[in-house]
Amino acid sequence: MKTNFSAGSKTLSALMVSAGILFAPAMVGLAPVHAAAPAVAGLPDFSDMVDKVGPAVVNIRTTERLRMRDDGPDQDEMQEFFRRFFGGQMPTPRGPQAPRGGRRAVPQEQEVQRGVGSGFIISADGYVLTNAHVVAGADEVYVTLTDKREFKAKVLGSDVSTDVALLKIDGGKLPALTMGDPSKIRVGEWVIAIGSPFNLENTVTAGIISAKSRDTGEYLPLIQSDVAVNPGNSGGPLINMRGEVIGINSQIATLSGGYNGISFAVPIDEAMRVADQLKKSGKVTRGRIGVSVGEVSREVAESLGLKGARGAEVSQVEAGGPAAKAGLKPGDIIVKFNGTEIAKSSDLPRLVGNTAPNSKATVTVWRTGALVDLPVVVAEREADGAAAAGKGGERSKPKAEGAANALGFKVSDLSAAEKKELGGTGVKVEATEGVAAAAGLRQGDILLQLNNTAIVDTKQFAALVAKLDPKKPSVVLVRRGDTSQFVSLRPTAR
């Protein structure tokens, strides 16, 4: 089970409680009363559903092959040990320690168990879904059904970003689960999880949906529930009351490595999209436009005249990337992608990622108080791509003199090289005090924009600051290194 904190192995103990039966002598003149326990209304009975869906849930066991020698540890590894820790070569075996007949021992491989997890069959011809972290690094994967049949599985592909893997076993007319619609789930509805926690196969736990579209820093919004999920449940299904899969159990929030009341599942619609690509090509292709984004705070939205704290604030634009070619700039607020509203910054990479590479899209940005539509050609996202570093310019010596302005800045004009790099706008911070210093701004930062106005030079910047209302917060677009971000400041009365 993938956890948000480190998870160690736990010893499972069972608490057995015996129930005593109290016998009392019958009371004279009174007939015994046999009252049936009243039925509790409203609580669900999962037994019929478990009988139906349980056979399609599988146990997944992974192994790896370790190289062994019949005369002890591998000699090359021991030589490296002696070299690193004792500064020399390992003594050459002599006498009875040396292999007989002068022959070098032949390395042998031994298969050892690596881990256990869960999964479920999605088609009668043997396609199985599980988590990518369940099969990561495994040399062999074995799938065991509830009827104890075991198959060696082939990993068709896995996707770390969504933690989804697709397996194939050779079988026919296998039990398979029905996929549900995660968009229709409601917070508070009953769900169950089936899997192999602590390698206890075919374990059923129940709970409710706690939250939808929970951002956990991963690529996808996850389904949060309070269903008991523990190490070994990874890859098992989260099932609604109609017996449909709505998610793949993937993560837990825990301090101990065990169940803490918060578990997360990958929405099954997203997982199936990934599975379709893995089935076709063994990999997942996603789009990218080459920007880094952050959340838009309420203060930034108000200062820029944007209705509501929404959208994704562009903090960095990759040089030569699709966004740069389309004209996006640091400080732009992306409010729509291909007509779809961006409520929070995490919406953008999901929308872009689901867009086919080389296709055309329209990015709508809020810039200097107005909406601007920019056409962009989506590129293919690399597995571990990183934005290209910007070119540095010559640093001029401090030229600022006098007292800091109402925002706490002492600034200087940019050099010709710096102006060329930054598109002709901005001033350089030479010193900070007051609110600017308290906000963490420092010498060397570049100020690109004040509220909705681009900063041209020190004279214009001073005039803009002088007109600010000290009763209202303002925002400055600050560039540090290759990253830009809006910072909210309230001017000091002068």
Contact 365, 334 (CB under 8 A): yes
Contact 235, 249 (CB under 8 A): yes
Q: Tell me how long the chain is.
A: 494
Q: Which residues are annotated as a binding site?
A: 133, 163, 232-234
Residues with a catalytic annotation lie at: 133, 163, 234
Residues β-bridged to residue 211? 224
Show the CA angle centred on residue 307, arms to residues 301 and 309, nearest 5°: 45
Q: Which residues are annotated as a binding site for substrate?
A: 133, 163, 232-234
> Tokens for 373?
């539509």
Show the CA angle centred on residue 435, arms to residues 433 and 439, nearest 5°: 100
> Tokens for 106?
């032949």
